[in-house]
Amino acid sequence: MNGHPDRAQAWELLCLYTKSESLRKHALSVEALMGAHARQAGEDVALWELCGLLHDFDYERWPDPAEHTVQGGHILEEQGYPSELIRAIHSHNPANGLGIPADSPMARTLLAVDELAGFITGVTLVRPSRSLADLEPRSVLNKMKEKSFCAAVSRDDLRAGATLLGREMPEHLEFCIAALRPIAAELGLAGH
């Protein structure tokens, strides 16, 4: 695959730096969303999935916004990951001070799905079923109106993500929920 590290190596790297099960699950959900969007757009699915899987791999060790992705970027470079992937990862954290804009389809998609993946997970976990199988976009939209629910997640950022991809929010949610359903059990979102 273009001579860069493969999925198994990326997972090993993620696990080396990320011990938190919830952060690993977040990485898996962003990987799935990136892959689904790449397939739809006719892009390099494997590369986009790696981007999703590794976008926060350095966060546990370097949570300071000024360092997050900067330290990871050096590691990814040393390990032979493509500059396009590293740029996309850098661009998802504007607080890193690198000034790298989300100026590629991969970078825009990462911005559009990163926070949303966590929000969808949060909504699913408070549902009686605790399952993605019966989650509807309407439920997510209702939770977006509750300011106290997942209060740290900017609703403006969630809406901006849909806009970045040229979608209305309900359509964006429907696509993302559908993309996460195949890995619901891995994410702990398959219900009781």
The ranges assigned to domains in the chain are 7-184
Give me the pLDDT at residue 187, please: 97
Distances (CA, A) of 46 to 4, 18, 59, 76: 11, 21, 22, 16
- Torsion sign, CA atoms 38, 41, 44, 47: negative
* Residue 189 near residue 124, CB atoms below 8 Å: yes
What per-residue confidence (pLDDT) applies to 4? Answer: 79
Output the pTM of the full model. 0.96
- The CATH number of 7-184, from 1.10.3470, 1.20.1070, 3.40.50, 1.10.3210, is 1.10.3210
Length of the chain: 192
Closest CA to 4 of 54, 56, 79, 71: 79
What is the reported pLDDT for 192?
73
CA atoms of 163 and 167, how far apart (whole Å)? 6
Alpha helices (H) along 64-136:
70-78, 83-91, 105-125
**pLDDT, tens only, 38-79:** 999 999 999 999 999 999 999 999 999 999 999 999 999 999
All residue ranges of the chain with pLDDT < 50 are: 1
Q: What's the confidence (pLDDT) of residue 137?
A: 97
Q: Which one-letter amino acid corresponds to residue 35? A: G
